């Protein structure tokens, strides 16, 4: 467990300092994570079972953010099977009450700092998700690492026109 002092970003309405705890999830967090992700549009929701697996099988590559016992943030990820030095970040969810604190960046730094073996980070982002682009660009700058992008899953070819193109973002090497 890691406690952080979360300070509001300059443009946030609430300027108070808050203490947020970052920790690995456990299976009991699955339903709370599921509800958090559902509230964090435009994130794609997963089944409850998927969230339970993220909070148990993939707990070493996931992080929960808690404030006063309430889950206010969650990141899920996994190590790429063929590239064990690469963390793929699946979802970043920050509840409305914890936005503007730089919490997503703090959780990402927590994950990348857990193992010296992690030297690269991948994620996928749609072009219209400005908040995610800003978060990962800040992370690349903080890690003093390049950020590269390319199409991962094309709107027409992979999604049959039902979902926007997902861009693969690669940050690294770092550490």
Instruction: Evaluate whether 124 touches 168 at the Cβ level (below 8 Å).
Output: yes
What pLDDT, on a 0 to 100 scale, did the predictor assign at position 18? 87
Overall number of domains in the chain: 1
Query: To 10 degrees, the CA torsion angle through 26, 29, 34, 40?
Result: -100
| Residue 159 CB neighbour total at 10 angstroms | 13
What pLDDT, on a 0 to 100 scale, did the predictor assign at position 44? 86
What pLDDT, on a 0 to 100 scale, did the predictor assign at position 175? 75
84-74-89 Cα angle (round to 5): 30
The whole-number mean pLDDT for each consecutive block of 10 residues of the chain, a chain of 175 residues, reads 59 68 97 95 90 96 96 97 96 94 95 93 95 96 97 95 96 92
Domain span at residue 46?
2-171
CATH number of the domain to which 94 belongs: 3.40.630.30
Instruction: Evaluate whether 136 touches 123 at the Cβ level (below 8 Å).
Output: yes
């Amino acid at each position: 467990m890691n406690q952080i002092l979360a300070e509001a970003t300059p443009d946030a309405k609430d300027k108070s300092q808050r203490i947020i705890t970052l920790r690995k999830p456990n299976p009991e967090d699955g339903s709370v994570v599921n509800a958090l992700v559902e509230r964090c549009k435009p994130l794609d929701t997963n089944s409850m079972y998927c969230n339970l697996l993220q909070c148990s099988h993939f707990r070493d590559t996931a992080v929960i953010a808690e404030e006063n016992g309430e889950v206010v943030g969650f990141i899920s990820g996994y190590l790429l099977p063929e590239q064990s030095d690469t963390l793929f970040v699946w979802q970043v969810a920050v509840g409305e009450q914890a936005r503007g604190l730089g919490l997503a960046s703090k959780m990402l730094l927590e994950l990348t700092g857990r193992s010296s073996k992690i030297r690269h980070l991948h994620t996928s982002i749609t072009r219209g998700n400005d908040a995610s682009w800003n978060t990962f660009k800040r992370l690349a700058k903080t890690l003093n690492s390049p950020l590269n992008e390319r199409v991962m899953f094309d709107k027409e070819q992979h999604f049959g026109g039902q979902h926007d193109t997902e861009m693969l973002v690669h940050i690294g090497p770092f550490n």
